[in-house]
Amino acid sequence: MTAAPFLALLLSPILAAAGALVLPPRWRAASVLHAGLGLISLLAALRFVALVLDGWTPTWGATVLFRVDALSALLAACVAFVAALAALLGPRLGPDDHYTPAQVRRFRVFSSLFAFTMLVAVTANNVGVMWIAIEATTIASAVIVPLTVTKASVEASWKYILIGSVGIALAFVGTVLGYFDFVTLVGQREYALNWTVLLANAPVLHPPVIQLAFVFILIGYGTKAGLAPMHTWLPDAHSEAPSALSAMMSGVLLAVALYAIVRWKAVVTAAVGHQFPNRLLIGLGLLSLAIAALSLVIQRQYKRLLAYSSIEHTGLMCLGLALGPLGVFASMLHLVNHTLAKSMMFFASGRILDRYGSPEIGRVSGLLRVMPWTGGLFAAGMIALLGLPPFGMFLSKFALVRAGFADGKGWLMAAVLALLAVAFVSLLAHLNRMLYGPAPAGIRRGESGGWAVVPLVACATMLVVLGIAVPAPITELLDRIVEIAGR
């Protein structure tokens, strides 16, 4: 029983990659197959969510290699959703897409591999395998960052692969130290690197070693999550990559890295108590919030704007993790909202880039007149990112600040609110300039690729549903996660 969903979840991206390699991208069947496999993996992820909600924690593999609990199910669903979106809306050979068949093939192969590595990272029980999968995500995504080779995209991809790999290597040092501490206590065991075993033996581990390991883990996975001061690769990579890829990277890759940090935080909290990890998380979270918020004030390109907003939201989530159970609930809800909103925004910005031809904010004006639907979605996404009412982020921002005050960190919350105000005022200023004002002469009006807007509208409605009334299954899932990570 338990093998089927795993196979569906993990194998479909592999098949999609193989299919894309074999079938010529010009065929209609190829893109339909690609999209279909993406949907299958999404259905598998949703199946996992259902299983977890029924109280199961499905496991698979020899030494309990794969294990899906509430946290993994949530992340798997997010990854599969964004991967399906990318498969559906990624570069294809439509009339107004300017990609060559070779590029499309390369994109499809490596984006499916990218999805596969993320799914493995999220479902692996073995901490070592999780590290390998996350390292593999860097490699898979780095290949397609320079899909169209320009000086800027080459530069962005080099920095991405270099900083990413160095960061991840440090995370491996942390993993090794964690395992070292376990071996000195219990001796070598085959399943030693399993997260469940580590968690069980955590109270016995030596505090100084675990603290050292957590520092390396935080710096390593923090680089992948885009936490300051290791965030520098993120704006370049996300603004130069094709928008489908940057949607996947900004939407879910950061979340997967954060997932790794949450896993290790649970172990370290069990070993050393929550005071040490929380202090580190708050420090890094506040730093990234500050740097991102201040960088948003003077921004000339809207894709970089979205990248910096990702850094800011990741910082907020990282901060939330350190504010007790309600904080973890808020940051996980924030994670779901951010994934939806950010991926929608990057797809919409891709369409804007195709139409206006320039990434500069100054050159895009009168968006609501030129492309009413995309403009509307772009506005809706931006307002969602600002945490304004009809959308879900208002609830998670409110819960986060409430958790902060409940935890007695009044001054910290004051700083957070001030930084959020600065960030949001500058985001709104840019949005205002793009949406309204006279439309530039000679721009073709009206929507192009009509049906492509439908999934984005679906994203927007999901965001509104999350905003008006958080559906019961999600609250149930998040409560389960709080039990795992929120002690």
Partner 1 sequence: MSPELVSQLSVGGSTLVLLAGLAMLWRRGVRAHIGAFTAQSVALAATTAMVGWFTGDWQLWAVAALLLLIKGVGIPILLARMARRFGTERELEPYVNTATSLLVGGLLVLLAYLVTAPLVSVSQLPTRTGMPLAMGLVFVSLFVIISRKKALTQVLGFLMLENAVALLAVLGTHGIPIIVEIGVFLDVALGFIVMQVFVYQIHETFESIDVEQLNRLRE
Partner 2 sequence: MRALFLLLIAGYVSGAAAALALGTGALSRWASALGAIVGASAGLALAAGACIRGAAFSLDAPGFFGPVGGMAFTLDPLGAVFLALTSLVAAPSALYGAGYARLWEGRPALRQVGFMLNVFLLTMSLVPLAGGTLTFLLVWEGMSLSSYFLVMTESDQPEVVSAGQWYLAMTQIGLACLLGSFLLLQSGGPGGFSALRAAALTLPPGTRDAVFALALIGFGSKAGLIPLHVWLPRAHPAAPSHVSALMSGAMIKMGIYGLLRVSLDLLGGGPAWWGGLVLALGAVSALLGVLYALMEHDLKSLLAYHSVENIGLITMGVGAGLLFGSLQMPAAATLALVAALYHTVNHAVFKGLLFLGAGAVLHATGMRDMNRLGGLIRGMPWTAALFLVGSAAISGLPPLNGFVSEWLLFQSLLPGIGAPSPLVAVLMVLSLGMLALTAGLCAACFVKAFGITFLAIPRSPEAAAAHEASWSMRAGMVVLAVACLVLSIGAFEIVPRLSSFVAPLVGVAGSAPSLSVGLALQTPGGFARMSPVLVAAGLALVVLTAWLAVKAFASRRPVRVGETWGCGRVVQTPRMEYTATAFAEPLRRIFAAVYRPSEDVSIDFHPDSRYFVQSISYHSAIVPWFERYLYAPVISRVRSWSERVLALQSGSAHAYLTYLVLALVLLLGWLVVTGQP
Stretch that binds partner 2, among 70-78, 97-105, 136-144, 433-441 (CB under 8 A): 433-441
Residues contacting 98, CB < 8 A, separation 6+? none
Under 8 Å between Cβ of 51 and 58? yes
Q: Give the pair of three-digit tokens for residue 183.
A: 């071996």
* Calpha distance 140→134 (Å, rounded): 10
Q: Give the pair of three-digit tokens for residue 293.
A: 């918020």
Among 2, 59, 165, 448, binds partner 1 (CB under 8 A): 165
Among 179, 437, 457, 484, binds partner 1 (CB under 8 A): 179
Name the residue nearer to partner 2 (CB basis): 283 or 449. Answer: 283
Q: Which does 56 bind (CB under 5 to 8 A by kind): partner 1, partner 2, none?
A: none
Under rule CB under 8 A, residue 357 binds partner 2: no
Q: What is the DSSP string of 29-40?
A: HHHHHHHHHHHH
Among 75, 217, 420, 485, binds partner 2 (CB under 8 A): 420
> Checking DSSP bridges between strand 66-67 and strand 59-60, what pairing results, if any?
antiparallel
* Calpha distance 386→382 (Å, rounded): 6
Q: How many CA atoms lie within 13 A of 270 on its CB side?
A: 19
- Shortest reach from residue 302's CB to partner 1, in Å: 14
Placement of tokens 């990277």 in the chain? 249
Name the residue nearer to partner 1 (CB basis): 156 or 341. Answer: 156
Under 8 Å between Cβ of 52 and 108? no
Name the residue nearer to partner 1 (CB basis): 230 or 318. Answer: 230
* 471, 456, 481, 80 alpha-carbon torsion, rounded to 10°: 130
Going 465 to 466 to 468 to 474, the CA torsion angle's sign is: positive
How distant, in Å, are the alpha carbons of 210, 268, 276, 433 from that of 207? 5, 9, 10, 52
* Calpha distance 274→278 (Å, rounded): 6
- Shortest reach from residue 279's CB to partner 1, in Å: 19
Chain centroid to CA 469: 23
- Shortest reach from residue 293's CB to partner 1, in Å: 15
Q: In the range 267-296, which residues lie near partner 2 by CB under 8 A?
A: 272, 276, 280, 290-291, 294-296
Q: In the range 297-336, which residues lie near partner 2 by CB under 8 A?
A: 297-298, 326, 329-330, 333
Under rule CB under 8 A, residue 165 binds partner 2: no
Under 8 Å between Cβ of 67 and 14? no
- Shortest reach from residue 294's CB to partner 1, in Å: 12
- Shortest reach from residue 177's CB to partner 1, in Å: 7
Q: In the range 213-252, which residues lie near partner 2 by CB under 8 A?
A: 215-216, 218-219, 223, 229-230, 232-233, 235
Under rule CB under 8 A, residue 464 binds partner 1: no
Among 89, 161, 280, 384, binds partner 1 (CB under 8 A): 161
Q: Which does 433 bind (CB under 5 to 8 A by kind): partner 1, partner 2, none?
A: partner 2
Q: Which does 107 bind (CB under 5 to 8 A by kind): partner 1, partner 2, none?
A: none
Residues contacting 26, CB < 8 A, separation 6+? 93, 101
Under rule CB under 8 A, residue 211 binds partner 2: yes
- Shortest reach from residue 140's CB to partner 1, in Å: 9
Placement of tokens 């490596």 in the chain? 110
Q: What is the DSSP string of 170-210?
A: HHHHHHHHHHHHHHHHH---TTTTBHHHHHHHGGGS-HHHH
Under rule CB under 8 A, residue 459 binds partner 1: no
Among 28, 190, 444, 450, binds partner 1 (CB under 8 A): 190
List residues near partner 1 by CB under 8 A. Answer: 65, 126, 128-129, 131-132, 135-136, 138-139, 142-143, 146, 149-152, 154-159, 161-162, 165-166, 169-170, 172-173, 176-177, 179-181, 183-184, 188, 190, 192-193, 206, 208-209, 212, 235-236, 239-240, 295, 298-300, 304
